[in-house]
Amino acid sequence: MNITEAQEKFIQAWGTLGQQWGVNRTMAQIQALLLVAPEPLHAEEIMERLSISRGNANMNVRALIDWGIAYKEHKSGERKEYFRAEKDIWEVAKRVTLERRKRELEPIVKLLDEVKQITGDKNDPEIKEFELMVDRLDKFANKVDKSLEYVIRADEHWFLSTFMKAFKG
């Protein structure tokens, strides 16, 4: 398998994986392309390599920038914008975790706080069951949030050493 075939296989697999994680396939493919590119790429190179439209390329590159996992660069003497990926995978994982936390966990925590304010007869079985389930979900969401915070703040070396100990022991 030559380098182009290997890169293509990686880009396609990363796109599929991204979809399974709830990320737009094209966004994941652009990230993969930028990850394996030795130099920053401009929009036309991204469009050509992935056979996508300018609008699709621009929209998804902007999303990667918003997530903090890609950056815009300017080359001296050129009018084109170039893009590069964050290549520190630990940093990518932390930023994706932060973004998913903001988009997925924080809204449910806010919703649970709102629906806890239920009024009515506290002896009503329907109210009791609702409050019990909301309390369980709230406790779970808070534990997940604390775990994510721990991961976000953890040092890479601590993580790797703990990870390796888990496999050894």
- Total domain count, the chain: 2
Q: What is the CATH number of the domain that holds 23?
A: 1.10.10.10
| Model pLDDT, residue 155 | 65
| Model pLDDT, residue 152 | 78
Question: Do 133 and 81 sit in the same domain of this protein?
Answer: no
Question: Do 62 and 128 sit in the same domain of this protein?
Answer: no
- Asked if residue 20 has pLDDT above 70, the reply is yes
| Model pLDDT, residue 60 | 97
Q: Running DSSP on this structure, what letter comes out for residue 39? A: S
Question: Do 102 and 128 sit in the same domain of this protein?
Answer: yes
Range of the domain at 36: 3-85
Question: Do 78 and 94 sit in the same domain of this protein?
Answer: no
More confident residue, 148 or 60: 60
Q: How many CB atoms lie within 10 A of CB 8?
A: 17
| Model pLDDT, residue 97 | 87
Query: How many angstroms separate the CA atoms of 104 and 145, rounded?
Result: 11
As a whole-number percent, the residues of the chain with pLDDT over 90 amount to 66
For β-strands 81-85 and 41-42, DSSP reports them as: antiparallel
Question: Do 54 and 93 sit in the same domain of this protein?
Answer: no
Question: Do 96 and 119 sit in the same domain of this protein?
Answer: yes
Question: Do 53 and 102 sit in the same domain of this protein?
Answer: no
Residue range 67-110, pLDDT digits in tens: 999 999 998 888 999 999 999 988 888 888 888 899 999 999 99
Tell if the pTM clears 0.85, that is, is over it: no
Confidence of residue 148 (pLDDT cuts 50, 70, 90): confident
Confidence of residue 23 (pLDDT cuts 50, 70, 90): confident
Q: Which residues pair with 83 in a beta bridge?
A: 41, 72
Question: Do 94 and 138 sit in the same domain of this protein?
Answer: yes
Of 49, 65, 85, which marks where a domain is finished?
A: 85
Q: State how far Cα 163 lies from the chain centre.
A: 21
Residue range 135-149: mean pLDDT, rounded = 92
Question: Do 49 and 111 sit in the same domain of this protein?
Answer: no
What is the Cα Rg of the chain in Å? 21
The amino acid present at 72, given as its one-letter code, is K
- Asked if residue 167 has pLDDT above 80, the reply is no
Question: Do 8 and 78 sit in the same domain of this protein?
Answer: yes
Of 68, 85, 102, which marks where a domain is finished?
A: 85
Determine contact, residues 31/14, Cβ cutoff 8 Å: yes
Residue range 24-63, pLDDT digits in tens: 999 999 999 999 999 999 999 999 999 999 999 999 999 9
Question: Do 74 and 108 sit in the same domain of this protein?
Answer: no
Separation of first and last alpha carbons in the chain? 37
Question: Do 54 and 8 sit in the same domain of this protein?
Answer: yes
Of 61, 85, 109, which marks where a domain is finished?
A: 85
